[in-house]
Structure 1
Amino acid sequence: MTGGATTGLAPGSAAETTSAPVSPPFRKAVRGWRGPLLAVLGLLVLSVVFTLLRPAPGTERPLDPDEGGLSGGRALAQLLRQNGVTVHRVTSVEEARARAGEGATLFVPDTLYLADEDATALADLPGDRVVAWSGLLDLETLAPGVKALEAATARSRDADCDLPAARRAGSAHIGGAAFSGPPGAVRCFPAGDGHSLIAYRSGDRTVTVLGGTSFMTNLRLAEDGNAALAMNLLGARSTVVWITDPVDEDGAGDPDGGTFSGEERPGLMDLVPAGVKLAAVQLVIAVLLVAVWRGRRLGPVVAERLPVVVRASETVEGRGRLYRSRRARDRAALALRTAAIDRMMPWLGLPHDAGPVEIVTAISTRARSSTGAAAEASEIGAALYGPPPEDDAGLVALADHLDRLERQVRQP
């Protein structure tokens, strides 16, 4: 079986190669970290985008007559101007004092940032007064006799009072806080044990206290009777002095939208919390350490001597003896035929998925052109796809036939 037989092992394929496997390149080493790194990078990009899209402090003030956002008051200011009311946007006590008069309405949409001395200065100004209470400030200064009772959810409420400004509007989206008023005060929009709108006369002026101003914003102005209520409250006089910023006694305001302390507007990094900055630094350090760890060079390949060297001829003989001892002529014949077909395919110019008919026809044509004699297709087919040999002599004959066909195919 081993005399001239050829197995599926290619000649010269001895297990003599002693080269160690080559280390993978850097891009393969970090491939496992590609997903987490992309996720972290995406989070950082989203953080930067959200920070950039976030309005800078002072650029979006609630109920600012120049603000066109959802919480701004530009729509209400435009309605007042279209109805002949002059709207003065002021940012300090001094500006309010210069604009206020007997025919003006002082509108304070937020008392959260008013200091006591600011409220005292505003209380001395002439004209009507509309105050939206936001907590902290004692109402006794701007609205004597009005007491805050409880918080109230802002929702659509019916006026349920005799105040013409509220009765003509009907329902409005109001709430925020509920108050009790002094004797003789008109109470509108019931909320809990109190009301969200208190109006009364104090001397020669009308004082109106609101629990919230959500009905005046650009978002809510077109709902219910919000626009009518806002116009009735602020449009009773020919002038509205509209305070939009926290004010102090010296009037150190920034008409262009800064802070009253005179500090510069914070930059992008000033808006990022300190904890986020520290986490970002730690993340960058961790990524660099992982990159150094996974991307280190392994150095040149070191050749290692194998303990045993097995030559190709010995491998062929050993496999032949194994087939012979087990009388596995079918497997030996299949190995011979498969190896012969694989070696002849490149010479025949056939694809790897070619069928038996195509292979037999191509070999017959190739053998006829090389020897000048006709090669029987049936004989070639029996050699390549016939039944296994019945004895060792038939297996040797099959190997010789396959060698002869291979030589004919390789001849030019």
Structure 2
Amino acid sequence: MTTTLRAPSIAPAPPKRGTPGWIWVLVVLLVVAVVGGIGLLGVSALTVFGAEPGPGVSYDPDNPRPQGTRALAQVIDEQGGDLRQVRGLDEFTGAPRPGSNTTVVVSSVGALNSGTAQQFLDRVSDAHRVILIAPQDSALSLLGLPVRLEYGGAPTGVLAGCTTTEIDADDTITGGALGYSTSEPGATACFTTGSSSNVLILPASSTRPEIVVVSGDMLINDNLALRDNAGVAIRLLGNADDVLWYVPFFTDEVATEEEDSDIPRAIGPLIVLAVFAVLALMLWRGRRFGALVTEPLPAVVKAVETTQARGRMYHKARADTRSAAALRIHTLTALASYLGLPYDAGRATDELAIPEWETVAAQGESTDPAVHAIITTVVSVTGRDLARVRALLAGPLPTTDTGLVIFISELTALEKEVRHTP
């Protein structure tokens, strides 16, 4: 018996309905909301991270934490000195010009740029004295000072070894991990360990007043009551009738004639609005695509397998050491930011590209003074063993996958510990 099979009837598919217009309007509104949110987050991040130094920054006169200098500012104010704080270039230039009876104190010196540094020098030319708290090499260069940052060793008591109007030969202060040296004739170096001095006094010249460079460790809240820190600090900062404490901002800019433009300020927002209008028009009048069709992928590779494969590839390429060096640079940069210490991450990153880098790295421990300063301060803050911290931040780098994993874990743990230490 033969059975006849009939082909199934194919009914025409129901016509697809177009996407309702309100959905496209909703999509446009969602895009606008997302972009606007990202912009607000960017502005907030700029304000919080680096735009304006505040109570959480080292050596700030409003910072009550161990690394701040609020205690010193309050003592000077209570001693009868007229202490004024100015924040940012606008407040600094808006304040009365410092005269011969005014000492100008500058914290967050690293926020100065080429324009603001020159304007600062012009404005304080008639001041009695300028005191720079823990300046970095870049700021010293911008200010045209023949002073160089030096490694000072472990924080400990340092004898003055000099005699000035404000410093007695038997004064003892808390020495810092960083200090300074100078080649200027007539300069006075005090509280010196090796070639590193915690206080440098540069005599006044025809173009600038007397400049005092201090390491800053004796000024912070945590150390002010120790040894002769308070007495030396008050005599250095409060020896004039008025004290002007200047905290520059990273966002400070000096206005120039070239910045005056005939282009309306609203041109930027109008361009953004035009972009959104074009995007909305494209979504409204653009081609409508059909429903998405799912297709089986040729293969699905788990993320962990991809990561392991890349790890084996780096291992075969012998890139473990460079990867570890890059991670160490990242951690040193973060630690320097938390502790208010200088560290040139750009130079360290550039050194990784040198062909003979591995040969140099294999010679042993890093000799960068900034790295040793970070190590010493980390040990002081966390209480960790000095040898272990030095091995992690300046010692030999791992050369195996297992060593790299342990190395990453230890770097992460150290960074978290320093970040959460008050």
TM-score past 0.5 threshold: no
Structure number with greater CO (CA < 8 Å, separation at least 6) is 1
State the TM-score, normalizing by the size of structure 1: 0.43
